[in-house]
Amino acid sequence: MGFRKFINSKTLLSFITAFMLLGTNLLMAQTEAAATTGGQTDAPQVDWTGVAYYVLLFFLVCLGVAVIGKILKIYDLTLKIQGKKGMKWNTVMAVICLVFLLAGIYGAYWSFTVQGSMTLPEAASEHGVKIDEMFTVTTVLTMIVFFITQILLFGFLFQYRHSDKRRAHFLPHNNTIEKIWTIAPAIVLTVLVVFGFFTWQKIMNTTDTKGDINIDITGHQFAWELRYPGKDGVLGPKDFRMVSAANKLGVNFKKRSSFDDLQVDTMYLPVNKSIRLNIQALDVIHSVYMPHFRVQLNAVPGLPTFFKFTPTITTAQMRTQLDDPKFEYLVYCNKICGGGHYNMQKVVRVVTEAEYQAWLSRQKPYLNDALRKELHFAAADQPKTESQNRLALNN
């Protein structure tokens, strides 16, 4: 055994002395350094004692393991000298397998109850409820399989641990049982596929209907920009060539529908109204993720996409439900997009229709003064001339 070389009093002693010396040396160096650089605090100092402490701790653990290994070895040898069989490692491992199984089942149960309760609250959208139903069904089915197979796996390990007295049962195959466990999962999966397929089609294959609220959400490094349509209910078209300092999204002001568009900071949604999120990105791929509504779709530059959903629970209702007065729905980025990826959020508020209208009337138009100046507009509603267009393009 490899330990042998380490386990003799001399090397052990020298190891420990070496570490003690190292530790004290570092400690001294540390205090000295602290003394000399007393005034300067610009760069944080490395706490070498701490490092040495952990290294020492690790070596002590290794040492402990080595000692236990040695003891076991000696115990094993003594047994053999006495003419016994030596340690039955197969039995030891089989027992550990059983212990692991029991501890594992308890751990999984604990995790399900404690951490499982920390997961998202009920879906706050119409389609989300269907997704949650599917989720529950899938969870129940898979958990049954999970517990049965793991119990069988570790149970068999314990039950059929090695014994010199018997031989394994020669069983190369059994076509009947193999057919059963090919067909059974196939049937279960077919059921899941069929339901999943139709749910998915229903969620994604949406058509435009009158009365949808169009909201434009555009991702860039590292924020979301929101644009609401004005009174006409139509969002003006965009063109990335028209992006400028004041026209961040590149809204095309050749079209009349652009003129009354609103720029907003918080995404307000009226409850029980069909929302059509028009999703785009300016620079790299982002992902619009609104987990409470079970909404996610990537924002891809050059590929406008949309997601339709209907929020069903207002922020206020959710706050009372969760007993959390500070609760907010959020939209955040869920596709790696650069250094600021981890903080690209916007608040989403689901409100009643009346609150929504009141809020909407307070929002400022996208065509603000700076943009007007840039586009050389005298008045908001004045149609542009050819030359102004060109200027806009040059910007």
Binders of another protein in range 268-307 (CB under 8 A) = 279, 282-285, 287, 289, 291-292, 294-298, 300-303, 305
Distance CA 7, CA 67 (A): 8
At 13, the amino acid letter reads L
Enter the tokens of residue 312.
């069903």
Size of the site for another protein (CB under 8 A): 122
Distance CA 124, CA 73 (A): 62
The nearest distance, CB 300 to another protein, in angstroms, is 5
Among 334, 352, 363, 389, binds another protein (CB under 8 A): 334
Distance CA 321, CA 328 (A): 12
Among 18, 20, 47, 55, binds another protein (CB under 8 A): 47
Binders of another protein in range 166-185 (CB under 8 A) = 166-174, 177-178, 181-182, 185
CB under 8 A: which stretch of 20-28, 103-111, 207-215, 386-394 binds another protein? 103-111
Residue 228 near another protein by CB under 8 A = no
Binders of another protein in range 205-224 (CB under 8 A) = 205, 220-221
Measured from the CB atom, is 243 or 316 closer to another protein? 243
CB environment 144-179: b (16+ within 10 A), e (fewer): eeeeeeeeeebeebbeebeeeeeeeeeeeeeeeeee
The nearest distance, CB 12 to another protein, in angstroms, is 17
Binders of another protein in range 68-87 (CB under 8 A) = 69, 72
Which residues are within 8 A (CB) of 120 and not within 5 positions of it... i.e. 6 or more apart?
291, 292
Binders of another protein in range 3-32 (CB under 8 A) = none
Tokens 């003891």 appear where? Answer: 71
Mapped onto helix, strand or coil, the DSSP state of residue 26 is: helix
Measured from the CB atom, is 225 or 260 closer to another protein? 225
Among 9, 82, 119, 207, binds another protein (CB under 8 A): 119
Measured from the CB atom, is 118 or 378 closer to another protein? 118
Q: How far is CA 59 from CA 27, 46, 52, in A?
A: 18, 21, 10
